[in-house]
Structure 1
Amino acid sequence: TNQKHFQMFSVGPPLVGHDHPFLCKNPKFLPTYIRPKYPTIDFSTFTIRSSSSLEEIEKPLNESTEARESSSKLYASAPFPAIRAPKRVVMVRHGQSTWNEEGRIQGSSDFSVLTQKGESQAETSRQMLVDDSFDVCFSSPLNRSKRTAEIIWGARKEEMITESDLREIDLYSFQGLLKHEGIAKFGAAYRQWQIDASNFNIDGHYPVRELWARARSCWTKILTHESRSVLVVAHNAVNQALVATAIGLGTEYFRILLQSNCGVSVLDFTPHPEGGSPYICLNRLNQTPSSPIAAGRSGGRKTGKQLILVCHGTSQRDSAASIPYAGNRPMNMLGVIQSQKTAELLLDLKVNSIVSSPKLASIETANAISRVQEAADCLGADCVPRYVEMKQLQYLDVENILQQSKHAVGISHLQSGWLNGLEDGVTMSLWDQAGQAWKSLLDELSNESEPQNIVVTVGHPAVHIAMMGHCLNLTKEWMGSFHLDAGSISLIDFPDGPAGRGVIRCINYTAHLGRWSIPITRSTLDDEF
């Protein structure tokens, strides 16, 4: 066993009712964190990388790391139109449709309509966004999305634009089929659609690649529109493509960033001071009308392993020289409320272990979650008491690293993309330490004796952002592309186990905080997000 690895774990003073140290096993799977340098590529002409042959579909995804990064470098480098003022884009997937309910492949067909549940979901989204200010709404032309947009838009007088490129992915001969019909009729091609969608070919088309190119076209139209706050109502696959292309991820990320019915995702675009492509940050992903916390399935696939990233509640700030959301002080009243609301959200899950940073605010948040978990029998969630193992992980404490940054110290709150301003040395230290934390958490999740293993980890937003980057097999340069708020949760599923790719169900979910949550949109009169 690596003794140095052990030293990074801290039991510290035992928490009340818990005396189990965090014992680490040797990791069975370590993602590749060091990336090779790539030659300079001419991106003046936007192209899509060529496909692999059908025979390649049995290769493990880990073997195509170089191809995946090369593809994402392509999308990250293709320029976006310059903008003159900050722009926020709020994307919503349509409510449940009749073909969603039947399990039928819709694609860009227009035969399904919203179910009663879908209408209700759209109404919930309308209420969630009712006080938010929008300058324009872009909608898919397909009925299920147009109806969702009409419900959400309500009595607003601002312009609604129907945009053909926002239609759902074109699936050609697959459209209208049930799963068993697709398997029977198309065999190997259907299997490729399931496990290697980016290289899937049907009727002479590569649907996912066409979709990614279409999403880039949509961004040009959205960003050149004279507006500051934009609502986009579309579909599952096209919203995935919009998110991925905005932050520079290629087609290999299809089905990795989930979009549920009426799930809300938010992207912030900030002008670059020298012109050219704006800074882009994913402020939240897939904030759903109902709770995102549910064990068992992820994007239609069974999953028994889940990692829930909880940002600790806000703390009492000791001085202007501290970093925002510093965890070395007790939580303030807002932080106590945030931690209690998070504990209530997680009540219906049987959490196996809670791993926290050794900082006080993280420990207090972890204790709040543990108390509610272990009282589940008293609260009617279970008929038997639960035991939750409490652990502390030194790797999750990144605040000493952040204190070294002149940019991070003294700012009052975390703006979208704030990690872009960290000095190179600080960024590298944060990234490397978060990588060690990520390895340790994967190891914790790999407990073979627990087929259903749910691990909650509590820490500062910065370490969770960096760990999501490691989950997505990115590099440190991507950290500024994600944002988390105090008291938020993010959920990662592992349908293929911890040795497989993580599927991100939601990022920066705050709806559980109720009146204390961060608004989806902000006033367009505010020049800063």
Structure 2
Amino acid sequence: MAAVVNDFRARTRCGPPTSFDLRSTVVRTGPARVPLNLDSTCSAASASKRLPDVGSTKRVTLVRHGQSTWNKEGRIQGSSDLSVLTQKGESQAEITREMLQGKHFDIGFRSPLARASRTAEVIWDSRDSKLIDLWELREIDLYSFQGLLKEEGKAKYGDKYAAWKADPANFEIDGHFPVRELWERGAECWKSILDADGQDVLVVAHNAVNQSMVANALGLGSEYFRRLSQSNCGLTTFVFNPYQGEEAHSVILERLNQTPALPLKGNADMTYNRALLICSSLPKDEDEAEERTKVVESLAKVLMEEGIKSIWHDSAAFSSSLAYEIANLLKVKDFDNVFDSTDANMRSLRGAGTTVLLAEESVIASCVAHALQVDGGLGVTLTLSTGGMTLIDFSDQNVSIACINYTAHL
């Protein structure tokens, strides 16, 4: 284990504990269709950094690396560089490459750690331009934890390991606050990426550092660690528009954590408490009957094993008709529930099993903000596709967003 720790120290170039400006401002955001208010009430100590303004529109796609050998073993990786992709990880990267096939990227950034570097190579494939290694994109620095199996961490570090699990934003080890440091670094990553030439950018990195970048883009502090999922080879896409004043929303979230595998893994036994929000905004100039048939058929296939407890819908006629047809196909009896975004309705999404809500973009945006316990002030825009799925997982510890606008089933 000493070799692991020494290798970690050499590779992460650790210095003394970092001090931070704790009066950071949240990101400014710009014009859009459906604002998602995300002005966090978080403490100043965990506030996010304001991102740099862009001179022209940029689209940035974040990808987490594929499954690594240490992911498979359940070993704490942090910023160590002793694991590589498993065969499953290679396959995940290949599927993600196919998902992005035909997609133009002007520039690509990657973490230099082997598991992310290899994932980037697979996805980048035969594109002409070179990938750029960015040291700031390495995974979270976890110091003495790195290289330990999770059970070893519990046994060796006891209370510290419990603090890492229960309150990661305030977790301290070896004189460092790893998650706070990571949030600071996530903002630095955005500076490098948004200042680079090119309108379409690919970034391949890691779970925690991607979380920090997503949270910084949303104006959320380090207490949101583990609440914005980044699965192996999951895609998250942001669009950044030039800043147009305090009242405008310049950041658009097009999708969060679109994975090679379906995010629903079956919930017939009600093991999980989750809300599945399905966008029912009818596209302009689309035939309602054709669109309804397409959405119902695609959803019925993926929801068959989910064990739906109840189906809700907003007041829009298209939402109501979708709810009726899906309930008939899945034989769900409790489906004629009208959702109006009141606190009581929000609580209804949190019951045992999987609750489905068919609703327009603005209602889903409100539900996501409510789940994250943020409101008012600055925000971002959600761009949702008809039939796109947003999944919220509820647990005793917290509420997390598993994906936003998942569309691979459509």
- Measured against the shorter chain, the TM-score band is 0.7 to 0.9
Q: CA deviation at 1:185?
A: 0.2
| 2:222 match | 251
| 1:465 match | 365
Alignment of 1:150-169 (within 5 A): 150-169=121-140
CA distance in 2, matches of 1:67, 1:153: 36
Q: CA deviation at 1:227?
A: 1.0
Q: Which has the larger radius of gyration?
A: 1
Counterpart of 2:279 (choices 311, 317, 321) is 311
CA distance in 1, matches of 2:85, 2:251: 32
Contact 1:315 1:332 in 2 (8 A): no
| 1:119 match | 90
Q: 1:134 to 1:352 in 2, by over 3 A?
A: same
Identity of aligned residues (%): 43
Alignment of 1:201-280 (within 5 A): 201-273=172-244, 279-280=250-251
Contact 2:249 2:380 in 1 (8 A): no
Q: 1:464 to 1:79 in 2, by over 3 A?
A: same
Q: 1:72 to 1:354 in 2, by over 3 A?
A: farther
Q: 1:135 to 1:357 in 2, by over 3 A?
A: same
Q: CA deviation at 1:473?
A: 1.0
Q: CA deviation at 1:345?
A: 1.5
Q: CA deviation at 1:373?
A: 1.6
| 2:330 match | 373
1:47 partner letter: D
Counterpart of 1:504 (choices 377, 386, 401) is 401
What are the Cα deviations for residues 56-112 of structure 1, in whole angstroms up to 9, with x where unaligned?
A: xxxxxxxxxx9952349942xx43222111000000000000110111110001111
5+ long unaligned stretches in structure 2: 1-18, 25-38
Q: 1:71 to 1:366 in 2, by over 3 A?
A: farther
Counterpart of 1:130 (choices 101, 104, 116) is 101
Contact 1:138 1:160 in 2 (8 A): yes
1:343 partner letter: A
Instruction: Identify the structure with the greater strand proportion.
Output: 2
Q: 1:79 to 1:304 in 2, by over 3 A?
A: closer
Counterpart of 1:486 (choices 376, 386, 389) is 386
| 2:50 match | 79
Q: 1:251 to 1:360 in 2, by over 3 A?
A: same
Q: What root-mean-square deviation, in Å, do the aligned CA atoms of Structure 1 and Structure 2 show?
A: 2.5
Contact 2:46 2:223 in 1 (8 A): no
Matched, 1:357 2:317: no
Q: Give the secondary structure class of the aligned counterpart of 2:228.
A: coil
Larger relative contact order (Cα-Cα within 8 Å, sequence gap ≥ 6): 2
Matched, 1:47 2:10: no
| 2:5 match | none
**Which piece of structure 1 moves more, 204-213 or 332-341?**
332-341
TM-score (norm 2): 0.85
Q: CA deviation at 1:336?
A: 2.3
Counterpart of 1:110 (choices 71, 81, 84) is 81
Contact 2:274 2:394 in 1 (8 A): yes
| 1:59 match | none
Counterpart of 1:346 (choices 303, 308, 313) is 303
CA distance in 1, matches of 2:123, 2:404: 22
Q: 1:73 to 1:178 in 2, by over 3 A?
A: closer
Contact 2:266 2:307 in 1 (8 A): no
| 1:389 match | 334
Contact 1:313 1:336 in 2 (8 A): no
Q: Give the secondary structure class of the aligned counterpart of 2:387.
A: coil
What are the Cα deviations for residues 20-70 of structure 1, in whole angstroms up to 9, with x where unaligned?
A: xxxxxxxxxxxxxxxxxxxxxxxxx972479xxxxxxxxxxxxxxx99523
Q: Give the secondary structure class of the aligned counterpart of 2:43.
A: helix
Contact 1:165 1:214 in 2 (8 A): yes
CA distance in 2, matches of 1:167, 1:443: 40
| 1:439 match | 344
TM-score (norm 1): 0.67
CA distance in 2, matches of 1:221, 1:254: 22
Contact 1:295 1:304 in 2 (8 A): no
CA distance in 1, matches of 2:146, 2:339: 50
Contact 2:46 2:180 in 1 (8 A): no
1:491 partner letter: L
Contact 1:465 1:483 in 2 (8 A): no
Q: CA deviation at 1:339?
A: 2.8
CA distance in 1, matches of 2:80, 2:191: 25
What are the Cα deviations for residues 468-512 of structure 1, in whole angstroms up to 9, with x where unaligned?
A: 11111111335534332221110001121xxx6311100011111
Contact 1:68 1:252 in 2 (8 A): no
Q: Give the secondary structure class of the aligned counterpart of 1:389.
A: coil
Q: Give the secondary structure class of the aligned counterpart of 1:511.
A: coil
What are the Cα deviations for residues 246-302 of structure 1, in whole angstroms up to 9, with x where unaligned?
A: 111000000000000000001110002369x98212221000001011256xxxxx9
2:402 partner letter: R
| 1:191 match | 162
Q: Give the secondary structure class of the aligned counterpart of 2:336.
A: strand
CA distance in 1, matches of 2:376, 2:292: 29
CA distance in 2, matches of 1:461, 1:270: 20
What are the Cα deviations for residues 99-129 of structure 1, in whole angstroms up to 9, with x where unaligned?
A: 1011111000111110000000000000000
5+ long unaligned stretches in structure 1: 1-44, 51-65, 297-301, 318-324, 375-386, 396-433, 447-451, 514-529
Q: 1:260 to 1:476 in 2, by over 3 A?
A: same
Contact 2:163 2:171 in 1 (8 A): yes
CA distance in 1, matches of 2:189, 2:174: 24
Contact 1:121 1:262 in 2 (8 A): yes
CA distance in 1, matches of 2:284, 2:104: 32
Q: 1:467 to 1:72 in 2, by over 3 A?
A: farther
Count residues with an aligned counterpart. 375
**Which piece of structure 1 moves more, 335-344 or 258-267?**
335-344
CA distance in 2, matches of 1:335, 1:132: 28
